[in-house]
Amino acid sequence: MTLLTRASPQTLRLLALGLALLATILFFATQIEGYLSPRMFSRISTSAAVVLPIAVGQAIVIMTRNIDLSAGSVMGVVAYMAGQTLSSMPDLHPVLAVLFCMSLGAALGAINGIIIAWGRVPSIIVTLGTLALFRSFLVEWSDAKTITTASLPQWLVDLPSANAFSIGSLDIRVTVVLALVAVLVTGAALTFYRPARRFYAVGSNPDAALMAGINANRVVLTAFILSGAFAGLSGFLFLAKFGNITVVAGLGYELKAIAAVVVGGVSIMGGSGSMIGVLMGALLVDTIDNSLTRWAVVSEFWRDALLGGLIMAAVTVDTLASRQLTRMRKGGQQ
């Protein structure tokens, strides 16, 4: 009870989300043979790793009361151009390759940010435009050539199966570590780095932010640059994981990211949300998705509908549970 009375509503939400994730895992453990296995852990963690960075960037943008619909296109452009660059410069240091991807993404994000912050055009309109624009650019740029695994340096091709370390029999892959670093660094910054707190301030009350001497334009621009940079990191992971990159790379990833972010409790009205929430949101969506693929009971035709339904159910459980916990907390105080 002491824990409940001291915890903030945010913490309670995370607790509820954790319960929803646990319930999902326990349910599928009864349904799928060999579900609670190191192999399943690898499957879900590596799958979530690709979407996590882009979701982190999306969360920052959503915190400022904006949205970045172009993130999937940015991811595609970066994956393609990085593949091209690495084909022609196979000796490029891996760290520089990652930096290249993030810088390219950041540059594309800056285009969004400048138009939104100084052009005063709503982000949903601007990024809907750049969603198509970046994709069209990629179509022109690619000249219908595919980036193939054969042209990529071997370290990149091997990266998805590379193990960073193991906890017992659970393998933590390098790509998973990369994604987790993105989450943790961003999470720490959002908690302890003063300039990063401005994302919350601007989304929480834009008028008050102005009065408090916060340059909202610059904050929004930074959010979109970060969103682009993280989409670039996702692009890098996408390139490493799938090897074959065509102009469809990253298509629809902005929606996956938004789903993870919203399930993770980031308010679409801006001002609140946490990286732990985004991590759990991405894990929950991916767990449901990967589990349904292996669940014999449902036919292929019902999987997508069921995925949507289960995400909604998980969010409902989460909302009800956090409300219940809040009530228990109030009771505890009296």
Mark residues 4-43: x for contact with another protein by CB under 8 A, - for none.
Answer: ----xx------------------------x----xx--x
Q: At what angle do helices 94-119 and 123-142 cross, to 10 degrees?
A: 140
Is residue 93 near another protein by the rule CB under 8 A? Answer: no
Site residues (CB under 8 A) for another protein, limited to 130-149: 131-132, 135-136, 138-139, 142-146, 148-149
Q: How many Cβ atoms are within 10 Å of 93's Cβ, its own excluded? A: 11
Question: Do 311 and 222 meet the contact criterion of CB atoms below 8 Å apart?
Answer: no
Both tokens of residue 191?
């908690």
- Interface residue with another protein among 95, 167, 296, 297 (CB under 8 A) is 296
Residue among 168 and 213 whose Cβ is closer to another protein: 213
| 3-class DSSP state of 170 | strand
Residue among 41 and 317 whose Cβ is closer to another protein: 41
Mark residues 298-327: x for contact with another protein by CB under 8 A, - for none.
Answer: --xx--------------------------
Quote the least distance from Cβ 43 to another protein, whole Å: 6
Q: How far is CA 104 from CA 44, 71, 257, 261, 326, in A?
A: 28, 12, 19, 23, 44
Is residue 124 near another protein by the rule CB under 8 A? Answer: no
Q: How many Cβ atoms are within 10 Å of 305's Cβ, its own excluded? A: 10
For residues 257 and 41, give the distance between their C-alpha atoms in angstroms, rounded to a whole number.
20
- Interface residue with another protein among 183, 209, 257, 311 (CB under 8 A) is 209
Instruction: Label residue 137 exposed, middle or buried (CB < 10 Å: 0-12, 13-18, 19+).
Output: middle
CA angle 250, 252, 257 (to 5 degrees): 90
Is residue 200 near another protein by the rule CB under 8 A? Answer: yes
Q: Which residues bind another protein (CB under 8 A)?
A: 8-9, 34, 39-40, 43, 47, 50, 73, 131-132, 135-136, 138-139, 142-146, 148-150, 157, 160-161, 191-195, 197, 200-201, 203-205, 207-215, 238, 241-244, 246-249, 251-252, 267, 271-272, 289-290, 293-294, 296, 300-301, 330, 334
